[in-house]
Amino acid sequence: MAATEGMGITVDGVEKHFGDFEALKGVSVAVPNGSLTALLGPSGSGKSTLLRVIAGLDQPDGGSVRIAGREVTGVTPQKRGVGFVFQHYAAFKHMTVARNVGFGLKIRKRPKEEIAAKVDELLRLVHLQGFAHRYPSELSGGQRQRMALARALAVEPEVLLLDEPFGALDATVRKELRTWLRRLHEDVHVTTIFVTHDQEEAMDVAEQIVVMNDGLIEQTGSPRDLYESPANAFVMGFVGEVNRIGENLVRPHDIEILLEPDGTSQEGQIERVAHLGFEVRVELVLDDGRRLAVQTTRQDAEERELEAGQIVYLRPDRERRFATA
C-alpha cells in the first residue's frame, strides 16, 4: 500500500474490464496534495477510465481509491467531493450559465444570497461575468468549458478532474485555455488531474505527468524527467520525437551534422530542409535507405548552407538503448 501522507489522491492496484477488454491492469498512482498532474497516453491507454474510476463514474473491478486520505472505493460520485469536467462540457442545456454554476450549491440547499454571491465570484474567476443569463447554446466552446470548470469549482471539491478538457476546442483556444488553467491552479490550488493525449499540453501545464499505455503506467515524473530520462522506449517516443539508429534511440536535436567525416560519423544525404521559424528540420536518408530527422537552429542551417541533395556526416549524441526496445 502506497503512503497516503500528503497525498490528494492515492490509487492502488486498480483494475477495470469492459467485457473482454482490460482497460486498467493494476494501476497505482499517488498525486500530491495541491498538485497539477497530467494523465498522458494514446487513446485506449486507460487514462480516461482511470479518471472516471477516481470520480466514481466507473466502478473498478479491483484495487482501491483514496481521496484526501479517505477511502472512497465504494462511494458514489455524489459523495466523493470531486469536481469533474467533461470533454464535451456536459452543460445543462436548459439552465442559464448562472444556474449551471450554482447547481451544486442549490442541491446542497445553500441560501439564495450565498449562491448568488458565489456564482458571481466564480464567473469573474473564469472571465464569464456578463454571461450569467445566457444559455449554454449561446456560448462558444471555450466559454462553455470555462462555465463547466466554474460549475465544478463551485462545490469546493477536494480534487478537480478534467477529462480531455480542451480536446473539443480549436488549436488557438486550446493554447489560451491551457495557460489560463495553469494560472487558475496557482490561484485555487486544488489537487487537479487532467487527461490528455497531447504531450505538449501535458508538458506545458502539468507539474507531474503520469504516462499510461495499454492499461498500465509506464512512468511518472516531472515533464523534464520524462523528457531527459525516459524509463523506456514508449515514453521516449511519446513525449518527443525520436530517431532510431540501429538499436538506439536518439532525439533529433541530439544529432550533430558535420560537413566532413570524422571517425564515428555516418554518411547521409539531405532530402529536405524545412524552415519552421526559429527551428530548422533537416530530413536525411542514410546509405542503408533509412530516414531520420535532425533539428537545428536557423542560424546554424544558414551558416553552413545546408540544402537538399548535400552529403553530410552525422554524429548522434546521448543515444539511448532500452532493454525491450
Partner 1 sequence: MRGDRRKRPARPGAPDSAHRVQRYGLRVAAVGYLAALLIVPVAIIFVRTFEDGLGPPIDAITSPEGRHAFWLTLVCVAVAVPLNTIFGVLAALVLVRQKFRGKAIVNTLIDLPFAISPVVIGLSLLLVYGIDGWIGGDLQEAGIKVIFSTPGMILATIFVSLPFVVRETMPVLQEVGNEQEQAASTLGASGWQTFWRITLPSIRWGVTYGVILATARALGEFGAVSVVSGRISGETETLPLFVEKQFANFDLAGAYAAAIVLALIALAVLLSMNLSRRKERSA
Among the candidate windows 122-130, 145-153, 181-189, 230-238, which touches partner 1 by CB under 8 A? 145-153
* Shortest distance in whole angstroms from residue 115 CB to partner 1: 13
- Binding-residue total with partner 1 (CB under 8 A): 27
Q: Does 147 bind partner 1 (CB under 8 A)?
A: no
* Shortest distance in whole angstroms from residue 149 CB to partner 1: 12
Grid coordinates of 40: 498522458
3-state secondary structure labels for all residues of 25-78: EEEEEEEECCCEEEEECCCCCCHHHHHHHHHCCCCCCEEEEEECCEECCCCCHH
CA 188 to chain centre: 19
Q: Residue 90 or residue 285: which is nearer to partner 1 going by CB?
A: 90
Q: Residue 155 or residue 286: which is nearer to partner 1 going by CB?
A: 155
The runs of H, that is alpha helices, within the chain are 47-55, 97-107, 112-125, 141-154, 171-188, 199-205, 223-228, 233-239, 298-303
Q: Does 146 bind partner 1 (CB under 8 A)?
A: no
- Measured CA to CA, the distance from residue 53 to residue 174 in angstroms comes to 26
Q: Does 9 bind partner 1 (CB under 8 A)?
A: no
Residues 44-73 that bind partner 1 (CB under 8 A): 55-57
Q: Does 133 bind partner 1 (CB under 8 A)?
A: no
Considering only 75, 155, 231, 325, the residue that binds partner 1 (CB under 8 A) is: 155
Q: Residue 26 or residue 77: which is nearer to partner 1 going by CB?
A: 77
Laid out side by side, the sheet with 21-32 consists of 21-32, 7-18, 62-67, 70-71
Among the candidate windows 78-86, 113-121, 177-185, 208-216, which touches partner 1 by CB under 8 A? 78-86
Among the candidate windows 6-14, 85-93, 116-124, 235-243, which touches partner 1 by CB under 8 A? 85-93
Q: Residue 80 or residue 197: which is nearer to partner 1 going by CB?
A: 80
Considering only 30, 40, 50, 82, the residue that binds partner 1 (CB under 8 A) is: 82
Within 10 angstroms of residue 218's Cβ, the number of other Cβ atoms is: 21
Within 10 angstroms of residue 146's Cβ, the number of other Cβ atoms is: 27
Q: Does 108 bind partner 1 (CB under 8 A)?
A: yes
Q: Residue 76 or residue 179: which is nearer to partner 1 going by CB?
A: 76
Instruction: Report the DSSP pairing between strands 191-196 and 36-40.
Output: parallel
Considering only 43, 78, 172, 264, the residue that binds partner 1 (CB under 8 A) is: 78
Among the candidate windows 103-111, 138-146, 241-249, 262-270, which touches partner 1 by CB under 8 A? 103-111
Do 85 and 161 meet the contact criterion of CB atoms below 8 Å apart? yes
Do 34 and 191 meet the contact criterion of CB atoms below 8 Å apart? yes
Do 314 and 256 meet the contact criterion of CB atoms below 8 Å apart? yes
* Shortest distance in whole angstroms from residue 74 CB to partner 1: 15
Considering only 86, 166, 194, 234, the residue that binds partner 1 (CB under 8 A) is: 86
Residue whose entry in the numeric block shows the C-alpha cell 489560451 = 176
